[in-house]
């Protein structure tokens, strides 16, 4: 259930990013939100595996993995050059 709860957060991040960048002029905040939302969507299969932990640490593992994905995606050279 933790993985399914992550999907609306990714969709909200991407929608706010699209809403902020009206004409595609390269808004930094919009690029940040779009990249972090797309990182969650693009790695959804791995998120389901992390969310299926047997013990009660699934939420902590999911939080750490989503944070890791967002930071590593935002620090890629292609993402930094776009911002």
Digit-coded pLDDT (tens) for 8-25:
989 998 999 888 887 767
Q: Which two tokens stand for residue 61?
A: 């593992």
The answer to whether the pTM exceeds 0.95 is: no
* Distance between CA atoms of residues 16 and 8, nearest Å: 12
Q: How confident is the model at residue 47 (pLDDT cuts 50, 70, 90)?
A: confident
Torsional class of 24: left (φ above 0), alpha (ψ -120 to 50), beta (otherwise):
left
CA–CA separation, 50 and 78 (whole Å): 27
Q: How many residues can be counted in the chain?
A: 83
The stretch 60-71 carries a mean pLDDT of 86
Q: What is the DSSP letter of 56?
A: T
């Amino acid at each position: 259930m933790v993985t399914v709860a992550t999907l609306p957060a990714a969709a909200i991040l991407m929608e706010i990013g699209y809403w902020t960048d009206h004409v595609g002029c390269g808004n930094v905040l919009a690029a940040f939100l779009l990249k972090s939302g797309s990182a969650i969507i693009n790695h959804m299969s791995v998120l389901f595996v992390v969310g299926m932990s047997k013990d009660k640490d699934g939420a902590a593992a999911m939080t750490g993995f989503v944070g890791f994905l967002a930071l590593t995606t935002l620090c890629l050279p292609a993402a930094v050059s776009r911002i």
